[in-house]
Structure 1
């Protein structure tokens, strides 16, 4: 996994938190006792859970010590746990597992999602949001940018991990009381193409930059910026629309 930078990630905190708010609004629980924010990052989504259920036992789980250090600094009153999400098992069965923009980093969703669902307490909810942007220009150019870095970038994953909505339904519906799925395409208004690069440097672009020798990173980033400058053309006011699709899932046990 890449080394995360909480400051870079939080440059677009409002935009990154909006999907978490929309996912949380659809969670059909009144007063869960045990809540887990899986892949909590710097804690911006965990803060939303605390606002809604201040009496719940709330745990933020992440594999990044850098992100958890920021979370602990901002919210020392919340329990933070460093763990590998792929193998994490809770001490107590949660009423809610909330996973906002994290599971796209993990492989084998046909095994992973039923496992997470099976960890829930009876009546519990698995709530997931994942970027579905593998084929968007912002991410396709990360992988396919021609240049002397092509061989080094082959070490970064080349295939999508997010499945189509119907696959998730088929995985969980036989075991769930209800499964709700929806797909949203956000159109984020950005100042210019450089702002889009700044956004993805906090998430998807990091593994590609880290795979390159330091001597190639500046040239790669300049070529990537030029590609995005064409892929996301100026609108009538000179700004750019960063089109960002996301898939949402809420399943109740």
Structure 2
């Protein structure tokens, strides 16, 4: 794992094709972001959707003009077309391909949204001595579709996707206290305990990411997840969209401390 690299070094490695795995645990101390890119005519509806659903869709950055792909406010030499390990392309709500570089499909009418990611608060949990099981096991965090409805906005609607980390009850309470300080990266958990109460039928079969071990005496703890926009895109069916592949984030130069409420 390249945890000792700077965000710029990690982005350069990704751009050169030297890292194409998930980004959990990389560039400790710096914000990672989820991605949603769509045509300008759809952008206002999506912006409103994010504003109405700040838990799963907290905006930490966006392009200033359509077609802009360098995002200097988020990082030095940050090229949103090439600096994520894996992208997903959606056409009319259907994922048609995954790519390591979207330069060849880039368009001048595209608007980029970067959303806060739970990987950012993982650092605060680890610093407090809490285990993050997906990091321990070296896999992508498990993510699930739920029955928690988002507030609709224009053409966008859908249900919330959550990420899950198993914890003992006392650790879960501490995690709530810690993550409440990070509203820009999903904040406190949405749910603790029985997965069926939020529409998850099989905790061992995540919809995105990888399953992790849940030990006896542990609770599954669920946070709102930035894959939620992908569910909204599936339902809204815009003609063209680009997202990150779940777990494969943009690593920014923003320090996590900037997003914390002290």
> Would the TM-score normalized by the shorter structure come out above 0.5?
no
Bigger fraction of residues in helix:
1
TM norm structure 1: 0.25
Greater Cα radius of gyration, structure 1 or 2: 1
